[in-house]
Structure 1
Amino acid sequence: MRACFSLDTKTEAIPLVPLTPDTLASWLEAHPPRVRAWVEANGFKGKPNSLCTLPDEHGRIQGVLVGLDTEAPVWSVAGAARKLCPGTYRLDTDQDVAWLTQACIGWGLGAYRFDRYKSAEKPAPVLQLPEAVDADEVLQVVDATALVRDLVNTPAQDMMPEHLAEAARMLADAHGAVFSTVEGEALLSENFPCIHAVGRASSHAPRKVELNWGEDHHPRITLVGKGVCFDSGGLDIKPSNGMRQMKKDMGGAAHVLGLAKMIMAARLPVRLRVLIGAVENAISGDAFRPGDVLTSRKGLSIEIENTDAEGRLVLCDLLTEACEGEHKPDLLVDYATLTGAARVAVGTEIAATFTEDAPLYGELEEAATRLGDPVWRLPLHKPYRSSLESSVADIANCSSAPYGGAISAALFLQEFVDPQVPWVHFDVMAFNNRGRPGRPKGGEAMGLRAMFEVIRARFGG
């Protein structure tokens, strides 16, 4: 049980009353004049994420009014988890179980703190989980999101390929999954040449990380994650301001571990496979160069237009492996912090999404809207494939044109995906540049809750 929650519903708790501007008036009418005067004096209007603490005759907190976010229930009390004084609180509302569940999840997301390197903070407020709410479901979502955030927030000094692999091993051990890894020069003998090329310049050996869980006869889901633990840009080095947050470039790997955690914790009847390419894109005399030609696992030759377009090279070997053999997945999902162009297209707070499976995206969009976990579909526009043409190889690793970079990157990945396999590609920021209720500044899971809902609806049995 996370410290921000309590299952003890018998202990006296301070009521949290969610209100909108419309429902505030009727609530005030039912209370004494002194309460109405206090609320009015504090300027509380029921606006989303606003608070008004109500004192009793002795100056103690007798209740808290919370401005209700009607567009996304998950964020309705999320801000309160960071604003309220220490104490035990309970939701005082007649909302249904679905609303209560999302509000509790939001509380847990809002209570998140990354305190690995900080002195102890003051005790956090605690929310009683209503008896009607499935506590396991709430904790599964909150814990998986916290895992993603923790991994992304950890500085590169403590989150190199070996650390990322250890995080995957610990997750596998916790859920009875099978963990394996291919490291260093063994990547060449095992035919992962692009992963090796990207990571070979680092003193931290590159590796392919794999996790398998579930019964063979169940539907197969494969999750692929970009795990670039730090991205200098390689020989096409980034400027200092572009490198500052590149600890987050393993955010795709963090996402697939978080999603795997949710799937395994929920015991979904699926055969789960997780593939991660864990590398550091560093600079040394052994770094791969602009103009080099790599031969991928699929056999396609790739001309290196830019060494800073390295994530797709890591992914292409994994996507190829995911589609090999007789046991191809019934669903293939990849997450990557792949392009700045996606941020230009949809901003930093929406998961850019690519798929040609319209019904699948329809389910994803519905879940994303309902859960406050926004996604937006960008097109796999085939004419842009020409921007990846090379005069010396089968394909270039990126376009030299300044436009449509997120689309051309997705088209590059599509070259390595079996067209018969349902595939979803997420190009995510994995980071909040600003703090919002339930979404503190720093590492973030994007499109995670929505994708899990789709998987649970399709394969939950």
Structure 2
Amino acid sequence: MSTLAFAPDDADAIPLLPVTPESLDAALATLPPDQAAWARRLGFRAGAGEVAVLPGPDGIARALIGRGKPEARARGRFALAQGASRLPEGIYRLDGSLDEHDAREAALGWLLEGYRFARYREQAAPKARLVAPEGVDAQRIEALARAEALTRDLINTPASDMGPAELEAAAREVAERFGASIAVTTGDELLAANFPMIHAVGRAAAPHRAPRLIDIGWGSEGPKLTLVGKGVCFDTGGLDIKPAASMLTMKKDMGGAANVLGLAQAIMGLGLPLRLRVLIPAVENAIGSDAFRPGDILRSRKGLTVEINNTDAEGRLVLADALALAAEDEPDLTVSFATLTGAARVAVGPDLAPFFTDDEDLASALTRGGRDWADPVWRLPFHEPYETMIEPGIADLDNAPSGGMAGAITAALFLRRFAPARYCHFDIFAWSQANAPGRTKGGLMQGPRALLAALPEALGL
């Protein structure tokens, strides 16, 4: 079972002293001589995540945990989180030597280190628990940890158990838990309701995996925030079929939907004073006799026509109809999350979440929020001269411009044609390729912590 909450305050909690290599000698000098000698015999050097358990007359007297050298602290995140897996069972309390930023990162990382995906196989979670460090917002950190656990669980679940219907069920559970409204338009109802591109992308799937649009609403006062998440529960590439190797992680192609559901859970759980709407186009991009084809021209909800030059560029199609719906409500801010392009990974790699916005203040707030909450983001441009690349001539828009250049930017420009005026788009990887402190291999939340931190400034909360 994952431990995603802080331990209750306990006067007998074991003191946990964070130590850097440069402060090691000074730290040992503050300890009783026998404990300092024990730490030296253990060979403790205060490397990132290294621990030393120091005995006392009644058990563990205290523990030391390494923060690593300055370059390690600058290059990595959640180094102290490794202690949750390396320390023996017990309740620990950081000694208070960390500043507010470092204490917040340590606390969040500790909870995230407790995540385990145990749906199909039992996974042992760390048994070392942490009292919330003094001065941190424990409620917010716990809400973020639970949000990330939801996001990871959804992404990690294979498509056999996480199709459009199961994604709808997860959305219903979140909505009902917080008293939110939810409406779902499914199958051929999408055509009657004027969501033609969502229908086109998902119509080849089996009937029990029919395409749908999930629409959640919560809150009655405050500014309007709309979150849109790409919910492609499996992407074969369609008739432009992906190579086998490229399909291995396509269960994560609904990572945008998972990220917005996790973020929505946090927003509702924290009771933020806003009106929240969540839109998730949930489909399977399957291969079948009714699959949409290269060369087809689709008409969108907005009325713009789209030439299909690659059926593997389907995410922007389903998002376009959802964004057009969002625009009709005139929200104060709309943010989309999608595992949209390989070009974004080429541009910034898997660890950064690139985002696009024309709003300078929002961009600055997101950058600060990412830095403050260990959620690194990087701004990419809506570069106007590339608009011509998404205009094929035969239709209003091209879903997959030829040439192989600027793929992340042209995809973002495509989405902006349908989006409300104040718009931000995240093109995320939503996946950790290997185990790292606070981040087990598999599904990942990218961008929501930065956005949550930016909302007070962005929406005047």
Whole-Å Cα distance in 1 between the matches of residues 385 and 316 of structure 2? 19
Whole-Å Cα distance in 1 between the matches of residues 379 and 3 of structure 2? 37
2:272 is equivalent to residue 268 of structure 1: yes
Q: Post-superposition shift, 1:444?
A: 0.4
Instruction: Spell out the pairing of 1:93-172 with structure 2 (5 A cutoff).
Output: 93-96=96-99, 99-119=102-122, 121=124, 124-130=127-133, 132-172=135-175
Instruction: Spell out the pairing of 1:296-445 with structure 2 (5 A cutoff).
Output: 296-324=300-328, 327-418=329-420, 421-445=421-445
Q: Post-superposition shift, 1:68?
A: 2.2
- Identical counterparts, % of pairs: 49
Task: Look up the match of 1:193.
Answer: 196
2:88 is equivalent to residue 85 of structure 1: yes
Whole-Å Cα distance in 2 between the matches of residues 320 and 460 of structure 1? 25
CA contact (8 A) 1:104 1:138 kept: yes
Whole-Å Cα distance in 1 between the matches of residues 230 and 132 of structure 2? 35
Q: Post-superposition shift, 1:33?
A: 4.1
Whole-Å Cα distance in 2 between the matches of residues 154 and 173 of structure 1? 21
Whole-Å Cα distance in 2 between the matches of residues 364 and 6 of structure 1? 27
Q: Post-superposition shift, 1:126?
A: 1.7
Q: Post-superposition shift, 1:340?
A: 0.5
Whole-Å Cα distance in 2 between the matches of residues 140 and 122 of structure 1? 19
Whole-Å Cα distance in 1 between the matches of residues 303 and 222 of structure 2? 30
2:58 is equivalent to residue 63 of structure 1: no
CA contact (8 A) 2:96 2:134 kept: no
CA deviations 1:310-339 (Å, max 9, x no partner) are: 000010001111111xx4111110000000
Whole-Å Cα distance in 2 between the matches of residues 111 and 7 of structure 1? 13
2:214 is equivalent to residue 209 of structure 1: yes
Q: Post-superposition shift, 1:210?
A: 0.5
Are residues 405 and 6 of structure 1, via their aligned partners in 2, closer, same or farther at CA, if it must alter by over 3 Å? closer
CA contact (8 A) 2:116 2:123 kept: no
Q: In structure 2, what residue type is equivalent to 1:189?
A: A
CA contact (8 A) 1:4 1:126 kept: no
Q: Post-superposition shift, 1:144?
A: 0.7
Whole-Å Cα distance in 2 between the matches of residues 103 and 298 of structure 1? 46
Q: Which sits farther off after the overlay, 32-41 or 112-121?
A: 32-41
2:248 corresponds, among 223, 244, 247, to 244
Q: In structure 2, what residue type is equivalent to 1:416?
A: F
CA deviations 1:236-268 (Å, max 9, x no partner) are: 111111000000000000111111111111111
2:224 is equivalent to residue 225 of structure 1: no
CA contact (8 A) 1:75 1:437 kept: yes
CA deviations 1:379-438 (Å, max 9, x no partner) are: 1112222222223211110111111111111111111124xx211100000000011111
Q: In structure 1, what residue type is equivalent to 2:111?
A: G
Q: Post-superposition shift, 1:460?
A: 6.4
Whole-Å Cα distance in 1 between the matches of residues 442 and 223 of structure 2? 35
Tell me the secondary structure at the aligned position of residue 358 of structure 2: coil
2:326 is equivalent to residue 295 of structure 1: no
Q: Post-superposition shift, 1:222?
A: 0.4
CA contact (8 A) 1:72 1:371 kept: no
Whole-Å Cα distance in 2 between the matches of residues 99 and 123 of structure 1? 21
CA contact (8 A) 2:3 2:125 kept: no
Whole-Å Cα distance in 2 between the matches of residues 156 and 297 of structure 1? 28
Are residues 259 and 4 of structure 1, via their aligned partners in 2, closer, same or farther at CA, if it must alter by over 3 Å? closer
Whole-Å Cα distance in 2 between the matches of residues 121 and 285 of structure 1? 45
CA contact (8 A) 1:341 1:405 kept: yes
Q: In structure 2, what residue type is equivalent to 1:428?
A: I
Q: Post-superposition shift, 1:21?
A: 1.8
TM-score of the pair, normalised by structure 1: 0.94
Q: In structure 1, what residue type is equivalent to 2:63?
A: V
Q: Post-superposition shift, 1:162?
A: 0.5
CA deviations 1:75-94 (Å, max 9, x no partner) are: 24211122222222221223
Task: Look up the match of 2:54.
Answer: 54
CA contact (8 A) 2:6 2:111 kept: no
Q: Post-superposition shift, 1:121?
A: 2.5
Tell me the secondary structure at the aligned position of residue 269 of structure 1: coil
Tell me the secondary structure at the aligned position of residue 212 of structure 1: strand
Q: In structure 1, what residue type is equivalent to 2:216?
A: L
Q: In structure 1, what residue type is equivalent to 2:39?
A: V
Q: In structure 2, what residue type is equivalent to 1:65?
A: L
Q: In structure 2, what residue type is equivalent to 1:64?
A: A
CA contact (8 A) 2:373 2:450 kept: yes
Structure 2's unaligned 5+ residue stretches are none
Q: In structure 2, what residue type is equivalent to 1:178?
A: S
Q: Post-superposition shift, 1:50?
A: 2.2
Q: Post-superposition shift, 1:455?
A: 1.1
CA deviations 1:133-191 (Å, max 9, x no partner) are: 44322211111111111111111111100010111111111111001100000000000
Whole-Å Cα distance in 2 between the matches of residues 2 and 237 of structure 1? 37
TM-score of the pair, normalised by structure 2: 0.94
